Structure 1
């Protein structure tokens, strides 16, 4: 059985989960408290990060590398455009969300509100929380601009870029940190993507001590 060592609210783990589910690859989810530096886990990934995917006798780390491996091994349904410019745009946007959005928003909101409590590292830093709450508005506006010109974030078809964005936003939505009323086009995009069968397990996540908001798993908000 394939195994994915993950943390439920990690956007990087969610991105891999979405790709696996979209490609109908069965996988056993194993929650990993990576911050405890368990020796067995460190042997799986010395970087001490999740996700780690065990598949075909291999241990694979780094979410984007895993997703591109899955895309090449299981090309149907495709999550990357066939043309080189389209693939560039997908990779650019994946990097945007996993780097810039993560640094400016996810790490300031999710990590402060949830990770610190789970890891026993104290209380949220209010300065970081305010910074993240301000930055997410800019990112939602950028997404709205993209979606005003395209059906999906990177073009006319759904791609890995949409999964990267949805992974971060779904994690933040779990803790009520996304203002869906800011942009109707972004809200419609998210409604489309969270209605996909691949999203079902993510919408079913339950984090002890952090109950789901009422709208979180509602496909119609």
Structure 2
């Protein structure tokens, strides 16, 4: 069985877990805190980043590379799209959320609301959190715009773009960084994501010492 080295609030690990669940690939979860730079983990992935997917001697690192491998080797539930244009749009939306959204929203929230609180035991910087909230608002506006024109993020069918976006958004939501008021299209999309049996296990996980907001795992909020 595949082993997935990950931790609860790593959005890239969430993406791989969600994709594996959609494709029916069973994985054994191994909790890995990358900032500890454990020797055994550094041997698997010298970058020291999660996720890492391992099956015996085969070691896959980087969620993008893992995702491409799964799409090439598992026929069930193809997630990239039905044509070249749709696949290009899928990759564009994945890049948006894993680059821009992650840098502007998730990284500052992880630093201020997870790392400082749980590991450094210091107070978060309110200015950084407010900046992340403003960025999240802009991204939700863009989500609303996209979803006013199509059912899912890259076209008519659920796919990898939705998986990548939901992974990032769910971590930001766990950390209290998302204000859903006034974003009906984005809320409806995320509610549909939250109702998927393949995503529900992610919502049930908690990081010790850091509970999520009350609405976090509710389907109707």
CA distance in 2, matches of 1:209, 1:182: 31
For residues 36-55 of structure 1, the aligned pairs below 5 Å read 36-55=36-55
Could you tell me whether the CA contact under 8 Å between 2:24 and 2:76 is conserved in 1? no
Are the counterparts in 2 of residues 35 and 119 from structure 1 also a CA contact under 8 Å? no
178-187 or 122-131, larger mean C-alpha shift: 122-131
Matches of 2:30 and 2:107, distance apart in 1: 23
Which residue of structure 2 aligns with residue 91 of structure 1? Answer: 91
Which residue number in structure 2 is paired with residue 203 of structure 1?
203
The residue that corresponds to 1:27 in the other structure is 27
What SS does the corresponding residue of 2:198 show, helix, strand or coil?
helix
- Counterpart residue number, 2:192: 192
List per-residue Cα deviations over 1:130-160 (Å, max 9, x = no partner): 2111111110000000000000011101111
CA distance in 2 between counterparts of 1:42 and 1:117 reads: 25
Aligned Cα root-mean-square deviation (Å): 1.4
* Cα distance change, pair 194–149 in 1 and its aligned pair in 2 (3 A): same
2: CA distance, partners of 1:115 / 1:39: 21
Question: TM-score, normalised to structure 2's length?
Answer: 0.95
Is the Cα–Cα contact under 8 Å of residues 109 and 177 in structure 1 kept in the other structure? Answer: yes
SS in structure 2 opposite 1:182? Answer: coil
Q: Quick one: distance in 1 between partners of 2:53 and 2:97? A: 21
- 1:128 deviates by 1.8
Number of equivalent positions: 221
* Higher deviation after alignment, 199-208 or 120-129: 120-129
Unaligned runs of 5+ in 1: none
Unaligned runs of 5+ in 2: none
TM-score (normalised: structure 1): 0.95
2:72 matches 1:77: no
Measured in 1, the distance between the counterparts of 2:100 and 2:189 equals 21
